[in-house]
Structure 1
Amino acid sequence: MSSPDPVAVFRIEAAECLEQIEAGLLDMTHRLDDKDLIDAVFRGLHTLKGSGAMFGFDALAAFTHHCETAFDRVRKGEVPATSELVAAVLAAQDHMRALVDDPDGDHGATGQRLLAQLQSAVGGRREVAPAAAVAAPAAVPQSTAARTWRVRFSLPENAMANGTNPLGLLDELRELGECSIIVNKATLPSLENLVPTELYLSWNVTLTTEQPRSAIDDVFIFVMDDMQLDVEEITDTAAPAKMAAVPAMPAVEKAPEAVPVFVPPVVAAATASVEPAPARRETAPAVADSRQAKATENVRVPAERLDELMDRVGELVIAQSRLSRLASASADISLRSVSEEIERLSGELRDTMMVLRMVPVATLFGRFRRLVHDLARETGKVIELVTEGESTEVDKTVIERLADPLVHLVRNSIDHGLEKPEERVEAGKVEAGTVTLSARQAGGEVIISIKDDGRGINRERVRAKAESSGLIQPGQALSDAELLQLIFAPGFSTAAQITNLSGRGVGMDVVKKTVEALRGAIDIESRPGEGSEVSLRIPLTLAIIDGLLVRVGTGSYVIPLSAVEECLELSLEEDLRSRGRSFISLRDSLVPFLRLREVFRTGTRPDVYQKVVVVSTGTERVGLVVDQIIGDHQTVIKSMSKLHQDVTHFSGATILGDGSVALILDVAHLVAAGQQQEAQLRAAG
């Protein structure tokens, strides 16, 4: 197997680093004086600059250096943290992404404009140099008198395996002033128990320097989160003289910056004249093994490999179905036993594969913090984004396809829904408008809602626009739900003028098409003056589902099991008696039903004892009349061909154990058809 491309690995890690920086900056918009957030953003910029320089992304390192310098000045109290600085670094972060993706592109003009914006944000106290090369770090202000510090530190055992060179840290301490170093080998194991890639040493350093305490912390900034560090000032002037009598660790020549140097701890230990200490307790190798296991808990896997594995699992499920069919027709007990074992294992493998593909919606919701921040600055509105149910998990393919539809819905809520601050105050509302993104699981579906507390949807304006566009006839009777659904028609827009956000009549129809392609549905609720809520009902997964296999005429069909509520028997007499009304009484409520035999035009006579499968989309129910219920079936979803795109009753197909094809029913469309039939019957009655 070929080793991964280091540049590709850097790009992945740079993307994660940029996401962390962006999250910190967006948190700072509400807490500008939070020192922890300022330090976190500074560390992220510092890491990105150093990694970029190591992998040859010089333009990225040079540009990032200026943002790092700006936050360093904030960190040291030289300039205050402002919303202008946050906005400038957010804009600069987009430029950093471009430098990561295309380091050789022509980004000079953009970089200079952003650097000028950054200089203005920090008060213009320091001239910003062109981003041609990595500038030298700003000198740390020196105090007038030298002070003595005792620095005790130890690094995690996997520090060298992760690229940290402790000798480099000691050299940086040496550069701050006069120091003496003592290496502690108390935890050094015997040679046979020593793991070459692990670090067993710790150090005691006495440092006399004119630099401030922050300069010592900056030496360890890359490893600050994982190490143990104790720094205290020595007020006894005799202490340094006593410590100086201990032989110091000889200076080590620095390695080139682009190539990390790994020095085995045994070699480092040999440079100090301290007697060897007893070996570590014999349980050390076991502890080391557990730490190594923890370090490899998370593994990055390309998405296409997961898709390929999912396809293989799907084929295995189909093969297992064929095996079960053969075993059930055989009298061989051994074959049945093997078939049952294979069925159990394939089911467990399928469930495990599903878990691997599931991704929390937090990865999707996190993208909108930046969008809302930018739209607030662009529109002049005060907007708060609230997210709920971020731990809800959805298939990764669903997450990828929902990104663009949710962007359209959020932009629509902000532009059409939320009022200007002065309008909200006049209406008796708080100045800040709220957009809430929420997710929850309901059976085999995930419901993702976008809710705002704005002005709501103006029904009169929607109707007027629909009539002028020819979508409906003037004065045509529509239910409230049907009227609100008109906003998803192609080319529909109620915006008075075209802006950067809306007015061109594109976007909402794309949302509907995307959601329907995911076998989902859209619900809208709106209250004048109180706000609107758009709910997307999406299936949990698009690969393998549990289905109810039924027969209609001579054909087999699959109903998603998550949508099935219950099954009833419909005799021939009841079928004949219900002709003309198509309703069944179910616990004091009337439920419309569809005769699938007539919908699919099978041309066959009904069975003597038909079955009614009651399905639901959450709020609406309809019965589906079938000839026979065969049983549950693990359904591997195969997409319909382009020739069948207009067939609305089916969402896909699957292969049965005997090699025949069964169509998967689209429950949402069938429920809509049943409700439409109910409305027509009520109107006729």
Structure 2
Amino acid sequence: MTKKKSRDIDLGFVAEALPAFIQEATEQVEQIEQLLLALEEAPGDRDKLDALFRCAHTVKGSAGIFGLDRIVAFTHDVETLLDRLREGRAELDLQVSTLLLQCNDQIRLLITQAADEQAESADQIDHRADLSTRLKAMLAALDDGVPASAEAAAVRQDSPEAAAALPRWHLCTTFGPDTFRNGMDPLSVLSYLDTLGDVHAICCDTEAVPPLDRIDPESCHGAFQFTFDSTASRAEIEAAFAFVRDDCTLRLTAPGTPVSHFKALIDAMPERPRLGEILVAIGAVTREELDLCLGEQAAMKTASSDDTPRLGEMLQVRTGVDPQVIDAAVVKQKQLSGDAADRKAGPADEQRYIRVQADRLDAVINLLGELVTAGAGAAMLSRQTRQGSLIEAHLNMGRLIEEIRNGTLQLRMVPIGETFSRFRRVVRDTAAQLGKDVALEIQGGETELDKSMVERIVDPLMHLVRNSLDHGLENAADRIAAGKSATGTLMLSARHESGTVLITIEDDGRGIARDKVLQRAWQRGLVEPGVTPSDAEILHLIFAPGFSTAEQVTNLSGRGVGMDVVKRNIEALRGSVTVHSVAGRGTQIQIRLPLTLAIIDGFLVSAAQSRFVLPLASVVEVIEGRRASVDQAGLARLDDAGELAGDSGRRCVELRGEMLPVIDLRTLYDLEAPPAELPSIVVVKGQMGTFGIVVDALMGQHQTVIKPLGPIFRSLRGISGSSILGNGEVALILDVQALGQLAERTPPPPGARRRPGPTAVPVATAERP
């Protein structure tokens, strides 16, 4: 293969594989940003510097395969600067880090434009040119005025003398059978390699190709061995294969490789009983050199020569391979030939990953939801037959469905720490813009959450973080005057709690000025003038549409847009948001979200003829109703003012010496049916505290497939979704947090009678078939 001035790119290959490149390159760019931010705190971390360099290599190499020359050219200068950092010729100070972050933003923009086939504007071209100029100036200063590209150009020339002086690498690569199906083109990889050096003596391994009558035209059977003359480093050569790394095996032998390396490769080889194949596989000789020696050896045997040399001796003379390498290969050949068990031994198991499209996984989870519903229906029918063997069979099937459900849902769970890490850049740039010194702390990053929910929580978190930086944290002078450290702290944390995920955004700033919020609420008419709500209600006013206490409008705040959207988006995920603040000490905002939006474990109850589902994780206990306590007004009704009577559904019952607020579903939803003889109260724990829900019957644990409500039902109080039962009936899923807000009111008046309340029993004993 001769060196070409331009490369022909397979347009079909680009169209099929470009989306995969965009996704992987975007992930690499995100990783570059996180590594740069981490290196600002530990500039001398060699491992992070190496990882940073590898990420830039991968982006550049993969872009080169697709002919994305703008990305390749721009990333090359970034890569050169990163190489200077690794060599210790430059320090990663704030100026260098800021420049690299801006360059990384430009690479991200170029990747986005490649995905959408967008044309660059004049401003974008000028901005990239300015970044390139700053990069080249920094590199020129580091290299005493000689750009790195000029050094490379001086070494790499097209003359035979210069080519002979280049280091010679040996490459063996085998592409997997699914390479074509995954949109990859091996020739594009080899074509890109030809831009890094000169490819010589390329040879195809035809033994990997099946007979033509059994060949699959959609499968790849490409296996190549060749020598490669180049000044490129190992990382640069490997980067050319980074995009197809999952679909190929690569063996790269560097110039001057020691004998011990070849011996280690021979020892690790599973099945290659022939001497020549062993030497080719480890890169000691090329396929072309082996074929030449085999041909000469065959010609000598045909001529009836009594002194036919051995293949190892011929390879040693022709190629200069070290005799110790040949001896090790001979030992391995005897070992594999004499012991069939060793030939069958495979490589050790290793952890592998596979990339799956999100829509395919969503389709599987939707089918799983239908399977759960069908399984519940079959279980109900089996109980009606009262046949023990059939009931037992369905119990076993239900257990398997539950295991499949848990395993499948786990596939969509991702650590929330990846989302938290995105805000390091936001905090850094926003704090610098505001002239504040802020340290971001992250806790509980390993907490897992449904990926679809993580994607939808990013924007609300972004607004809350910016709001804390702008409104909450003071500048250094104000903090010192208040007796605090000059550096403010913003903490993002997450943890599992009661079957939900609790996300907390906390700062140690000035806190929320309640009097200022109340004054603005009076002016806006949100609160009647002169009326002073509770502290919790005052803090909740910041979520009112258009509410803002900023004195002037900036690009960060003051327009009264955002907090109401935050609340609405979180509630759309069946979550809730609360605010806690202490003047002068800081503000804490808590977001509580369900683990998943698909399937939950529920507790099925009934009121009148309606079925309701409570999230099982929120159920604390069940109070069995007794005819005497109910008939004798053991449940006292309370209206919003705390007075007895009314039909709002709010009641109160004494439980172990304390008053427990309860909600009567019959009254709340105006369900018409004769009263139950033995109503029960399900005690649940919500964000506002513990309260009870009055129901007619307990129907036990139930796997619940969550279905969204139609637009006409979204304003229904205390309902977050629906589910289809096994018999085809529709059950409404209760929103524990919303019901808790309805139940939280002032305690009953002192004159109200207090009667012995019902007894509390565990949920398990209260379940009914």
* Normalised TM-score (structure 2): 0.72
- Is 282-291 or 86-95 further displaced after alignment? 282-291
Match of 2:80 in 1: 69
Alpha-carbon deviation of 1:173? 12
Deviations 1:30-55 (A, max 9, x none): 23344443333222222211210111
Match of 1:492 in 2: 547
Alpha-carbon deviation of 1:140? 8.8
Residues 51 and 611 (structure 1), Cα distance of their counterparts in 2 relative to 1, 3 Å cut: same
8 Å CA contact 2:604, 2:699 repeated in 1: yes
Alpha-carbon deviation of 1:452? 0.8
Match of 1:113 in 2: 127
8 Å CA contact 2:603, 2:616 repeated in 1: yes
Match of 1:631 in 2: 700
Alpha-carbon deviation of 1:122? 6.7
Residues 285 and 508 (structure 1), Cα distance of their counterparts in 2 relative to 1, 3 Å cut: farther
* Normalised TM-score (structure 1): 0.80
8 Å CA contact 1:79, 1:122 repeated in 2: no
Deviations 1:443-492 (A, max 9, x none): 21000000111111111111111111111112213111111111111111
Residues 220 and 512 (structure 1), Cα distance of their counterparts in 2 relative to 1, 3 Å cut: closer
Supply the distance in 1 between the matched residues of 2:223 and 2:119 (Cα, whole angstroms).
44
Supply the distance in 2 between the matched residues of 1:548 and 1:471 (Cα, whole angstroms).
38
State whether structure 2 residue 575 is matched by structure 1 residue 520.
yes
Supply the distance in 2 between the matched residues of 1:351 and 1:376 (Cα, whole angstroms).
42
Aligned pairs (5 A) from 1:653-672:
653-672=722-741
Supply the distance in 2 between the matched residues of 1:312 and 1:450 (Cα, whole angstroms).
36
Alpha-carbon deviation of 1:232? 9.3
Supply the distance in 1 between the matched residues of 2:153 and 2:487 (Cα, whole angstroms).
42
State whether structure 2 residue 594 is matched by structure 1 residue 539.
yes
- Tell me the secondary structure at the aligned position of residue 485 of structure 2: coil
State whether structure 2 residue 400 is matched by structure 1 residue 345.
yes
Residues 321 and 220 (structure 1), Cα distance of their counterparts in 2 relative to 1, 3 Å cut: closer
- Tell me the secondary structure at the aligned position of residue 625 of structure 2: strand
Alpha-carbon deviation of 1:119? 3.6
- Tell me the secondary structure at the aligned position of residue 605 of structure 1: coil
Supply the distance in 1 between the matched residues of 2:90 and 2:107 (Cα, whole angstroms).
23
Residues 348 and 170 (structure 1), Cα distance of their counterparts in 2 relative to 1, 3 Å cut: closer
Which amino acid is 1:414 matched to?
A: L
8 Å CA contact 1:173, 1:216 repeated in 2: no
Supply the distance in 1 between the matched residues of 2:407 and 2:499 (Cα, whole angstroms).
17
Residues 171 and 474 (structure 1), Cα distance of their counterparts in 2 relative to 1, 3 Å cut: closer
State whether structure 2 residue 684 is matched by structure 1 residue 673.
no
Which amino acid is 2:440 matched to?
A: L
8 Å CA contact 1:95, 1:111 repeated in 2: no
State whether structure 2 residue 678 is matched by structure 1 residue 609.
yes
Supply the distance in 2 between the matched residues of 1:417 and 1:304 (Cα, whole angstroms).
40
Which amino acid is 2:119 matched to?
A: D
Among candidates 493, 496, 500, match of residue 438 of structure 1: 493
Alpha-carbon deviation of 1:361? 0.6
Alpha-carbon deviation of 1:437? 0.7
Which amino acid is 2:124 matched to?
A: T
8 Å CA contact 1:69, 1:138 repeated in 2: no
Among candidates 614, 628, 634, match of residue 577 of structure 1: 634
| Structure with greater helix percent | 2
State whether structure 2 residue 522 is matched by structure 1 residue 467.
yes
Deviations 1:578-608 (A, max 9, x none): 3345322323332111222111212333222
Residues 360 and 102 (structure 1), Cα distance of their counterparts in 2 relative to 1, 3 Å cut: same
- Tell me the secondary structure at the aligned position of residue 381 of structure 1: coil
Alpha-carbon deviation of 1:610? 1.2
Which amino acid is 2:95 matched to?
A: E
- Tell me the secondary structure at the aligned position of residue 97 of structure 2: helix
Match of 1:620 in 2: 689
Deviations 1:591-633 (A, max 9, x none): 1112221112123332221101001115501111111111111
8 Å CA contact 1:140, 1:215 repeated in 2: no
Alpha-carbon deviation of 1:638? 0.9
Supply the distance in 1 between the matched residues of 2:292 and 2:434 (Cα, whole angstroms).
64
Match of 1:12 in 2: 23
Match of 1:552 in 2: 607
Which amino acid is 1:586 matched to?
A: L
Residues 307 and 477 (structure 1), Cα distance of their counterparts in 2 relative to 1, 3 Å cut: same
Match of 1:185 in 2: none
- Tell me the secondary structure at the aligned position of residue 484 of structure 1: helix
Match of 1:96 in 2: 107
Supply the distance in 2 between the matched residues of 1:15 and 1:378 (Cα, whole angstroms).
26
Matched residue count: 622
8 Å CA contact 2:634, 2:653 repeated in 1: no
8 Å CA contact 1:200, 1:265 repeated in 2: no
Supply the distance in 2 between the matched residues of 1:325 and 1:219 (Cα, whole angstroms).
62
Supply the distance in 1 between the matched residues of 2:518 and 2:374 (Cα, whole angstroms).
54
Which amino acid is 1:577 matched to?
A: G
- Tell me the secondary structure at the aligned position of residue 614 of structure 1: strand
Supply the distance in 2 between the matched residues of 1:156 and 1:606 (Cα, whole angstroms).
80
- Tell me the secondary structure at the aligned position of residue 679 of structure 2: strand
Residues 328 and 483 (structure 1), Cα distance of their counterparts in 2 relative to 1, 3 Å cut: same
8 Å CA contact 1:439, 1:449 repeated in 2: yes
Which amino acid is 2:401 matched to?
A: S
Match of 1:323 in 2: 378
Match of 2:439 in 1: 384
State whether structure 2 residue 38 is matched by structure 1 residue 27.
yes
Alpha-carbon deviation of 1:95? 2.1
Alpha-carbon deviation of 1:366? 1.9
Among candidates 400, 410, 417, match of residue 355 of structure 1: 410
Deviations 1:144-174 (A, max 9, x none): xxxxx9x999999989999799999999999
Residues 174 and 500 (structure 1), Cα distance of their counterparts in 2 relative to 1, 3 Å cut: closer
Residues 90 and 684 (structure 1), Cα distance of their counterparts in 2 relative to 1, 3 Å cut: farther
Residues 675 and 464 (structure 1), Cα distance of their counterparts in 2 relative to 1, 3 Å cut: same
State whether structure 2 residue 456 is matched by structure 1 residue 371.
no
Residues 583 and 39 (structure 1), Cα distance of their counterparts in 2 relative to 1, 3 Å cut: same
8 Å CA contact 2:512, 2:583 repeated in 1: yes
Residues 337 and 285 (structure 1), Cα distance of their counterparts in 2 relative to 1, 3 Å cut: farther
Residues 425 and 342 (structure 1), Cα distance of their counterparts in 2 relative to 1, 3 Å cut: same
Alpha-carbon deviation of 1:659? 1.0
Residues 623 and 288 (structure 1), Cα distance of their counterparts in 2 relative to 1, 3 Å cut: same
Supply the distance in 2 between the matched residues of 1:534 and 1:642 (Cα, whole angstroms).
29
8 Å CA contact 2:607, 2:666 repeated in 1: yes
Which amino acid is 2:734 matched to?
A: L
Residues 350 and 174 (structure 1), Cα distance of their counterparts in 2 relative to 1, 3 Å cut: closer
Deviations 1:43-68 (A, max 9, x none): 22222112101112111112212222
Alpha-carbon deviation of 1:72? 2.9
- Is 341-350 or 164-173 further displaced after alignment? 164-173
- Is 87-96 or 536-545 further displaced after alignment? 87-96
Residues 333 and 479 (structure 1), Cα distance of their counterparts in 2 relative to 1, 3 Å cut: same
Which amino acid is 2:686 matched to?
A: T
Residue segments in structure 2 that go unaligned for 5+ positions in a row: 1-11, 143-147, 156-164, 180-185, 199-219, 259-275, 277-282, 294-314, 317-325, 639-650, 754-769
- Tell me the secondary structure at the aligned position of residue 329 of structure 1: helix
- Tell me the secondary structure at the aligned position of residue 603 of structure 1: coil
State whether structure 2 residue 579 is matched by structure 1 residue 565.
no
Q: Percent identity?
A: 36
Deviations 1:388-423 (A, max 9, x none): 111111112211111111001101111111111222
Match of 2:668 in 1: 599
Residues 122 and 152 (structure 1), Cα distance of their counterparts in 2 relative to 1, 3 Å cut: closer
- Tell me the secondary structure at the aligned position of residue 606 of structure 2: strand
Supply the distance in 1 between the matched residues of 2:741 and 2:541 (Cα, whole angstroms).
16
8 Å CA contact 1:165, 1:263 repeated in 2: no
Deviations 1:554-584 (A, max 9, x none): 2111111111100012223323133345322
Residues 116 and 313 (structure 1), Cα distance of their counterparts in 2 relative to 1, 3 Å cut: same
Alpha-carbon deviation of 1:222? 7.1
Supply the distance in 2 between the matched residues of 1:495 and 1:461 (Cα, whole angstroms).
10
Residues 198 and 461 (structure 1), Cα distance of their counterparts in 2 relative to 1, 3 Å cut: same
